[in-house]
């Protein structure tokens, strides 16, 4: 079978697929040339990350395509329902990047609580001329230990964030439309421990949290999870992290909240208009920024590749069985 990984795939996964007899290519084909390439090369399975879009027009233009695989959690860059109506198998790797995203959330939390994102911007140019001034300005940070972290969306990533936050001594509460668990398991020095964790209504979470991190899946036409109504409920001076989806938050409302001080600061890895985020938002002094790299670690890429490869092998074997 012919596989094309348009956004790349890990070396281990590539080797695994080749050993299983798949013909795999990994060169990046421009979006406007992708349909032509798929048809010309008789591609059976198209693998993507977040850069390549698999919309209705591409799906309709490639009648011989049989499977679309998304390396990652969300599939908002794929018209999933349309693909499945056309008979295509659509798969993703929901658990592969949870740890990496959770660690980036913690990185933003530490950076924001100690103003590292500000001092890192100024030290290269002002470190020799304004050292004492910056020492005074950035020497008023806060500790995470003892603070309350509210997790909006308690799926795989939300639970890993909870583990890291509890390890840092934070209090954790969460809101979720489906989850009902009242504990979480932590592995400490090879031993597993259960720690109680409380689910609360979103109004309570926003009012009580010192920090809030959002981990909900919002489809393109769904309402935002945090808009003006929710910002009005937030505890004044809280810190907000978004490493989920850019459309999870009303960015205009976020800008106003950051300007007014309703929100002290925000850590953002995702944006509404990627790859050209709003210039006003990027220019605010109280925002810690990263370019949608939550899942981009060597370990996560290896897990993504292995999971995709395993799903491809299982799919091929299933097809073979069904053919008799």
Q: Can you tell me whether residue 284 is helix, strand or coil?
A: coil
Instruction: Please identify which of the residues 235, 292, 303, 316 carries the catalytic annotation.
Output: 292
What element of type H or E holds 295?
none
Instruction: Please identify which of the residues 245, 251, 303, 307 carries the catalytic annotation.
Output: 245
Percent helix, percent strand, percent coil in the chain, to nearest 5: 40, 20, 40
CA distances from 217 to 7, 211, 220, 279 (A): 22, 20, 10, 25
Q: How far apart are CA 89 and CA 85, in angstroms?
A: 10
Instruction: Please identify which of the residues 274, 280, 299, 318 carries the catalytic annotation.
Output: 274
Annotation says 292 is catalytic:
yes
Strands 183-188 and 191-196, sheet pairing = antiparallel
Listed residue (141, 137, 140, 151) closest to 184, CA to CA? 151
Give the residue numbers marked as catalytic: 245, 274, 292
């Amino acid at each position: 079978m012919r596989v094309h990984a348009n956004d790349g795939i890990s070396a281990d996964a590539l080797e695994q697929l080749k050993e299983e007899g798949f013909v795999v290519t990994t060169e990046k084909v421009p979006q406007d040339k992708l349909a032509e390439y798929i048809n010309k090369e008789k591609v059976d399975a198209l693998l993507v990350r977040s850069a390549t879009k698999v919309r209705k027009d591409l799906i309709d233009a490639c009648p011989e395509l049989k499977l679309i695989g998304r390396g990652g959690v969300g599939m908002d860059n794929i018209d999933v329902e349309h693909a499945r109506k056309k008979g295509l198998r659509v798969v993703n790797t929901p658990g592969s990047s949870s740890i990496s995203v959770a660690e980036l959330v913690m990185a933003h939390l530490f950076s924001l609580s100690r103003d590292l994102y500000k001092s890192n911007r100024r030290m290269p140019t002002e470190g020799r001329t304004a050292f004492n001034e910056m020492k005074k300005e950035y020497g008023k940070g806060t500790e995470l230990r003892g603070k309350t972290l509210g997790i909006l969306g308690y799926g795989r990533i939300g639970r890993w964030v909870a583990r890291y936050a509890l390890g840092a001594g934070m209090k954790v509460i969460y809101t979720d439309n489906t989850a009902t668990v009242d504990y979480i398991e932590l592995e400490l020095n090879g031993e597993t421990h259960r720690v109680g964790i409380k689910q609360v209504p979103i109004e309570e979470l926003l009012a009580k949290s010192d920090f809030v991190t959002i981990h909900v899946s919002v489809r393109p036409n769904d309402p935002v999870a945090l808009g003006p109504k929710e910002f009005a409920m937030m505890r004044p001076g809280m810190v907000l992290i978004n490493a989920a989806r850019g459309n999870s938050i009303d960015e205009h409302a976020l800008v106003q909240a950051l300007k007014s001080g309703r929100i002290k600061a925000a850590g953002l890895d995702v944006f509404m208009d990627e790859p050209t985020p709003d210039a006003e938002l990027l220019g605010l002094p109280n925002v810690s920024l990263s370019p949608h790299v939550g899942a981009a670690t060597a370990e996560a890429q290896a897990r993504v590749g292995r999971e995709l490869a395993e799903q491809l092998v299982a799919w091929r074997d299933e097809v073979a069985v069904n053919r008799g």
